[in-house]
Amino acid sequence: MPRYPQNNLAACMLPWTEDFELDVPVFERHIQSTLDDGYKCLYLMGTAGEGYALNGDRFRQVVEVFAGLAVRDGIDPQIGVIGTSMEQSLERIQLACDLGIRMFQISLPSWGTLDEAETMLFFQTVCGRFPDCRFLHYNLPRAGRIIRGREYHRIAEAVPNLVATKNSSTDYARTADLLTHSPELQHFLLEGNFAMGCTLSECSLLCSFDALFPKTTWQFFEAGKNKDLEELFRITQLFHDACQTLLSVCQREMIDGAYDKTFLWLTDPSFSNRLLPPYLGLSEEESVAVREVYDEHFASIP
């Protein structure tokens, strides 16, 4: 059995005012809405939540607001920790620990690609420093290397509080490798590969359409738990078509948060989809065009 229960993991976004301060009332309402939608497993500050961009004071402010609402019985909040050094990651984990967080999403330092021995040292040091906490590894290409199933298995044997991974790839072979060779870890997969993962073994959903289609996202997760393949692949196709159609007006590649925040903004216009500089999200014209597509084709999907 995996070390972490099968779950539906939702990201919370960070709303910025026009002068790029945290919009605390909107942020608090967003967190509470995510909890009200039934999410017990929610996180802050992966790439979509701009965890790469925050200085120390802003990181503390964000975690304090989040912990104030999410640290409670029955909820398992996560904090994403992105740093160019292991020392920076350790400092941020300690800060969040002091505020009651016990689940962390960690990424490998990206300034220089770690080799296999350095990767093991990173996990043993970071996770070993906090034995009463649990850790999910965000397995993303920006770190310079992707960890495969057998290496995860070796790390898991040495690091008992590494409990899960997060994978954004839609590559079937890579997903099969993870589920086959590191089954002790709970693997969170995006909508594009969740259905395929469910044909192999238990896996979890890293949802990106929860704000846009909240009820459909839960139907998708439940179909995965129940191995209802017809429903799983029907909703997979719906999500794919919605994403392609909504973003067809955007002719450039943007950082993750530009898309996630726009999905949230479509259902809650008070939540700004602006990004912290130097990253640029959708322009005002692009946002208007996306809203027109949403209102015409997708607003009726629950």
> Residue 106: enclosing H or E segment and its boundaries?
strand 103-106
Is residue 227 exposed (0-12), middle (13-18) or buried (19+ Cβ within 10 Å)? Answer: exposed
The pLDDT score that the predictor gives to residue 111 is 86
The pLDDT score that the predictor gives to residue 20 is 95
* 204 is a domain residue: yes
The pLDDT score that the predictor gives to residue 159 is 98
Structurally, how many domains does the chain consist of?
1
The pLDDT score that the predictor gives to residue 164 is 98
* 234 is a domain residue: no
pTM reported for the whole predicted model: 0.95
The pLDDT score that the predictor gives to residue 170 is 87
* 300 is a domain residue: no
The pLDDT score that the predictor gives to residue 200 is 94
Do residues 203 and 187 touch, judged by C-beta distance below 8 A? yes
Retrieve residue 84's tokens.
């160019």
* 52 is a domain residue: yes
The one-letter code for the residue type at 6 is: Q
* 201 is a domain residue: yes
Q: What is the pLDDT of residues 239-284, one digit of tens each?
A: 999 999 998 888 888 998 999 999 999 999 999 999 999 999 999 9
CATH code of the domain containing 174: 3.20.20.70
* 258 is a domain residue: no
* 297 is a domain residue: no
Supply the range of the domain harboring residue 74: 8-227
Over the chain (302 residues), the average pLDDT of each successive run of 10 is 96 95 97 96 88 93 97 96 93 97 95 94 98 96 91 98 94 95 97 95 96 96 97 96 91 89 95 93 93 96 96
| CB within 8 Å of 210: residues ≥ 6 apart | 8, 10, 34, 37, 39, 217
- Residue 108 vs residues 54, 64, 96: alpha-carbon distances, Å: 17, 24, 18
* 248 is a domain residue: no
